[in-house]
């Protein structure tokens, strides 16, 4: 069992992990850079170790300092969170060599899943559907053009080691292929130190659907339902929700089954996410696997009632999963909005600074995960995630209204500080988003309109207008307890009698 765990991360995820540890009776060792010395997780921890200056390369990415901190503090386990060293197989291996339990998959599996080309080959072997394209790395532009001609344009050239939205280029016509191929390779070499790229069919009008899986070290795995993360800007997720209401229950069950099968086929352990692109017909194609806890994990936690970070730690400690697939019953709808310290009107430029006012929303089924407190300073050295606002409601429409109410309660003020709050309120008023018919390109295409709406409702914007008619009792649906999605744009039926606007 784990008694003392070092959190090799910062910000909201460090606090999230510390809370899970507290509830498990595990002592917490925090590490921090110079600029995070007074952060929330440092205040919560049983022990905190200063591991370096603000620059991540010399602190949160500095393996020797973190491992030494773990040994010095007497930790027996390390949780890497997301980002930083969370998908670094060398770090996982060094932890193991030093006798530290790494909360994550085995290093070899992490290595395989970290390379998109390898991951795709393994998942193809496991029988998962892949987009038309090649699984193997493409070495020359000629080779790539031949593949593109075969699978048909548009295609996308992707860095095998890519991630975070970098290292991918869409090619719409053969004459653009050579240049796209060369630039993607150059970016891949510069950013990921690996020029390997592959080519696949580019789907337009697609949705990003990812399945949360949890596997123990005894060969058991479950799916915890899916999240739709189609609202992205340049492949950076802004708003995530679950379930993927545009899929039928049968399609969702099948996706979950495939995800667990794929994860178990490579010996995956812990919490992980299988990402799929889903086209208009509901056909899903495996994209990649994230071998870590994800930013948007609370969406799944609210839908299933499963504490993912807790389960992750228990599985890492060697425990068997305490529940089976049939015990996982996602209920209702959940939405997460990433509140970033960014200025959407200035190309989402980071807008860090001192948080003179940080007033966090509260109320029924409203959760705000953050590593900041009023008076703290959002450092320009790290990502701009200020916090994650997550709500749950019996159906998607109520969740949208609850989220808008919570966003309206939130106040963030400070010199130079801007946030994505108004942008989210504008998004939740967009007819395509409300009707759940947006795709992964929606934000890149419609951002100007969304920004204009955000500007018009800044600050003192009223809540969402009352829906048609007054309040009345809605009868219980007879068969399927899930919200009926067949009537596009209509307010879906709640799963049980409740007061609702009709």
Partner 1 sequence: MTASELSARSAGPDPDDTVRDLHDEVVALARDLPAGLRRLTVRDGDRAVEVEWATGPAETATVAVAPVAAVVAAPAAAVAPAEPEGTPVRSPLVGTFYSAPSPGADPFVRVGDEVEPGQTVGIVEAMKLMNPIVVDEAGVVADVLVGDAESVEYDQVLMLLRPAGGAR
Q: Do 266 and 112 contact (CB within 8 A), yes or no? A: yes
User: Please, which residue, 28 or 393, has the CB nearer to partner 1?
Assistant: 28
CA distances from 30 to 12, 23, 43, 45 (A): 13, 16, 9, 6
User: Please, which residue, 47 or 430, has the CB nearer to partner 1?
Assistant: 47
For residue 115, how many other CB atoms are within 10 A of its CB? Answer: 17
> Is residue 329 helix, strand or coil?
coil
Q: How far is the CB of 45 from partner 1 (least distance, A)?
A: 13
User: Please, which residue, 94 or 159, has the CB nearer to partner 1?
Assistant: 94
User: Please, which residue, 66 or 134, has the CB nearer to partner 1?
Assistant: 66
Determine the interface stretch with partner 1 among 64-72, 183-191, 401-409, 416-424 (rule: CB under 8 A): 64-72
- Which letter does DSSP use for residue 395 in this model? S
CA distances from 358 to 22, 310, 369, 383, 435 (A): 25, 28, 13, 18, 32
Q: How far is the CB of 96 from partner 1 (least distance, A)?
A: 14
207 as an active site residue: the answer is no
User: Please, which residue, 77 or 197, has the CB nearer to partner 1?
Assistant: 77
Determine the interface stretch with partner 1 among 5-13, 61-69, 195-203, 476-484 (rule: CB under 8 A): 61-69
93 binds partner 1 (CB under 8 A): no
Both structure tokens of 202: 């580019």
Beta strands in 108-220 (DSSP E): 155-163, 166-171, 197-201, 207-215
Query: H/E element holding 5?
Result: strand 4-7
Determine the interface stretch with partner 1 among 63-71, 140-148, 195-203, 219-227 (rule: CB under 8 A): 63-71
Q: How far is the CB of 60 from partner 1 (least distance, A)?
A: 12
Antiparallel, parallel or unpaired: β 77-79 and 101-102: parallel
- Which letter does DSSP use for residue 490 in this model? S
64 binds partner 1 (CB under 8 A): yes
Q: How far is the CB of 104 from partner 1 (least distance, A)?
A: 20
Q: Do 328 and 308 contact (CB within 8 A), yes or no? A: no
User: Please, which residue, 95 or 206, has the CB nearer to partner 1?
Assistant: 95
Q: How far is the CB of 243 from partner 1 (least distance, A)?
A: 44
Pairwise CA distance, residues 263 & 258, whole Å: 9
User: Please, which residue, 74 or 375, has the CB nearer to partner 1?
Assistant: 74
* Helix, strand, coil percent values for the chain (each to nearest 5): 35, 25, 40
Q: How far is the CB of 350 from partner 1 (least distance, A)?
A: 22
x/- mask, partner 1, residues 66-85, rule CB under 8 A, reads: xxxx-xx-------------
Size of the site for partner 1 (CB under 8 A): 18
User: Please, which residue, 91 or 198, has the CB nearer to partner 1?
Assistant: 91
Pairwise CA distance, residues 240 & 113, whole Å: 23
Q: How far is the CB of 202 from partner 1 (least distance, A)?
A: 44
User: Please, which residue, 59 or 112, has the CB nearer to partner 1?
Assistant: 59
Euclidean distance between the first and the last CA atom of the chain, given in angstroms as a whole number:
52
For residue 431, how many other CB atoms are within 10 A of its CB? Answer: 9
Q: Do 321 and 214 contact (CB within 8 A), yes or no? A: yes
Lookup result for tokens 């910062």: 10
x/- mask, partner 1, residues 20-59, rule CB under 8 A, reads: --------------x--------------xxxxx-----x
Q: How far is the CB of 68 from partner 1 (least distance, A)?
A: 4
Among residue numbers 148 through 167, which ones bind partner 1 (CB under 8 A)?
A: none
Q: Do 89 and 109 contact (CB within 8 A), yes or no? A: no
List alpha helices for 60-140, DSSP H. 63-72, 89-97, 107-114, 116-125
List 292, 401, 425, 453, catalytic entry: 292
> Is residue 350 helix, strand or coil?
strand
Q: How far is the CB of 100 from partner 1 (least distance, A)?
A: 13
Write the DSSP assignment of 8-21 as a string of letters: ---HHHHHHHHHHH
Taking alpha carbons only, the member of 475, 477, 469 closest to residue 497 is 475
- Which letter does DSSP use for residue 45 in this model? S
> Is residue 297 helix, strand or coil?
helix
Phi then psi for residue 426, to 5 deg, are -65, -40
258 binds partner 1 (CB under 8 A): no
User: Please, which residue, 53 or 477, has the CB nearer to partner 1?
Assistant: 53
Q: How far is the CB of 67 from partner 1 (least distance, A)?
A: 6
The residues that are catalytic are 292
- Site residues (vs partner 1, CB under 8 A): 34, 49-53, 59, 62-69, 71-72, 94
């Amino acid at each position: 069992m784990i008694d003392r765990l070092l959190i090799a991360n910062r910000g909201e995820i460090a606090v999230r992990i510390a809370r899970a540890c507290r509830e498990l009776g595990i002592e917490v060792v925090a590490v921090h850079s110079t600029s995070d010395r007074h952060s929330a997780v440092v205040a919560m921890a049983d022990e905190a170790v200063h591991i370096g200056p603000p620059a991540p390369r010399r602190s949160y990415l500095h393996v020797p300092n973190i491992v030494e901190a773990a040994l010095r503090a007497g930790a027996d386990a390390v949780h890497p969170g997301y980002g930083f060293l969370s998908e670094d197989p060398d770090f996982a291996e060094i932890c193991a060599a030093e006798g530290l339990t790494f909360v994550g998959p085995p290093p070899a599996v992490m290595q395989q899943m970290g390379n998109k080309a390898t991951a795709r080959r393994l998942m193809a072997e496991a029988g998962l559907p892949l987009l038309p394209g090649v699984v193997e790395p493409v070495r020359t532009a000629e080779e790539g053009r031949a593949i593109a001609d075969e699978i048909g344009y548009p295609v996308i050239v992707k860095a095998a080691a890519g991630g975070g939205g970098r290292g991918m280029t869409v090619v719409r016509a053969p004459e653009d292929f050579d240049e796209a191929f060369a630039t993607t390779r150059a970016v891949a070499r510069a950013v990921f130190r690996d020029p390997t790229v592959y080519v696949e069919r580019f789907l337009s009008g697609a949705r990003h659907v990812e399945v949360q899986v949890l596997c123990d070290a005894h060969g058991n795995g479950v799916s915890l339902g899916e999240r739709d993360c189609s609202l992205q800007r340049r492949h950076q997720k802004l708003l995530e929700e679950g379930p993927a209401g545009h899929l039928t229950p049968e399609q969702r069950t099948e996706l979950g089954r495939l995800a667990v099968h794929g994860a178990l086929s490579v010996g995956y352990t812990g919490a992980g996410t299988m990402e799929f692109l889903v086209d208009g017909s509901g056909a899903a194609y495996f994209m990649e696997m994230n071998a870590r806890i994800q930013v948007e994990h609370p969406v799944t936690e609210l839908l299933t009632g499963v504490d993912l970070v807790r389960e992750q730690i228990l599985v890492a400690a060697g425990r068997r999963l305490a529940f089976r697939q049939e015990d996982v019953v996602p209920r209702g709808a959940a939405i997460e909005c990433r509140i970033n310290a960014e200025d959407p009107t200035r190309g989402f430029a980071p807008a860090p600074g001192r948080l003179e006012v940080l007033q966090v929303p509260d109320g029924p089924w409203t959760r705000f995960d953050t590593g900041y407190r009023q008076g703290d300073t959002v450092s320009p050295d790290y990502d701009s995630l200020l916090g994650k606002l997550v709500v749950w409601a019996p159906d998607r429409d109520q969740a949208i209204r609850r989220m808008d109410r919570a966003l309206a309660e939130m106040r963030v003020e400070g010199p130079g500080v801007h946030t994505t709050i108004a942008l989210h309120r504008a998004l939740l008023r967009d007819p395509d988003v409300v009707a759940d018919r947006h795709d992964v390109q929606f934000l890149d295409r419609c951002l100007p309109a969304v920004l204009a709406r955000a500007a018009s409702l800044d600050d003192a914007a009223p809540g969402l207008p009352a829906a048609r008619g007054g309040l009345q009792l809605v009868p219980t649906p007879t068969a399927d307890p899930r919200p009926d999605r067949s009537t596009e744009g209509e307010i879906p039926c709640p799963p049980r009698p409740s007061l609702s606007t009709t």
